[in-house]
Amino acid sequence: MTALAIGPSGGFFNRTQNSGHAAAALVDRLLKHAFVHYEQPITLDPRERALQSLKGIFDTHRQQGWDGYGALPISEDAYLEACRLIQLLPGDIEVPEFSADPRGAISFEWYRGPGWVFTLTTKGAGMVVYAGLMGEGNRAYGTQKFSESIPKVILQHIRRVYP
């Protein structure tokens, strides 16, 4: 028999007695699995998950030579600028993939498929470097100043890759 009860703090706990029935054992396993995940926070916002991902990249790439070949560490300025870029992304733009750049920068990538990719790199100096392929024969690249908002040209290019 399996019983589910609410504990004094409002959380759930289960009490199981092994009755020898396969169904009871299955319920017991499912409940134990559910309780393991019950206390874990659920983040539904993709921007929050992106910020957590950026923090992980920053934490694991802040030492000189993190790649084993002398890569520059990601600076706190690069990390904070990358976070600001994520926070300023309009809601209709997909959250990109992130990676550490051996030059001490953080790169963002929006990849739709062969011939459809846009990358943006920030090093924390108030400038973003970008490059993109937007279908056959359509390329864009450059450097833009970044401070209070994401430059319109960059948003236009991202939207071409992810319409």
Is there a single domain that holds both residue 30 and residue 54? no
Q: Which residue has the tokens 């992980």?
A: 56
Residues of the domain holding 31: 2-38
- Model pLDDT for residues 111-152, shown as the tens digit of each residue: 999 999 999 999 999 999 999 999 999 999 999 999 889 999
Is there a single domain that holds both residue 129 and residue 84? yes
**DSSP code of 119?**
E
Q: Total domain count for the chain?
A: 2
pTM recorded for the entire structure? 0.72
Is there a single domain that holds both residue 111 and residue 149? yes
- Model pLDDT for residues 77-120, shown as the tens digit of each residue: 999 999 999 999 999 999 999 999 999 999 999 999 999 999 99
Is there a single domain that holds both residue 73 and residue 104? yes
* Strand ranges (E), 21-153: 97-101, 105-113, 116-122, 127-134, 139-145
Is there a single domain that holds both residue 9 and residue 74? no
What distance in Å separates the CA atoms of residue 159 and residue 154, rounded to the nearest whole number?
Answer: 9
Is there a single domain that holds both residue 114 and residue 83? yes
- Residue 85 CA, distance from chain mean position: 13
Is there a single domain that holds both residue 10 and residue 81? no
Is there a single domain that holds both residue 56 and residue 99? yes
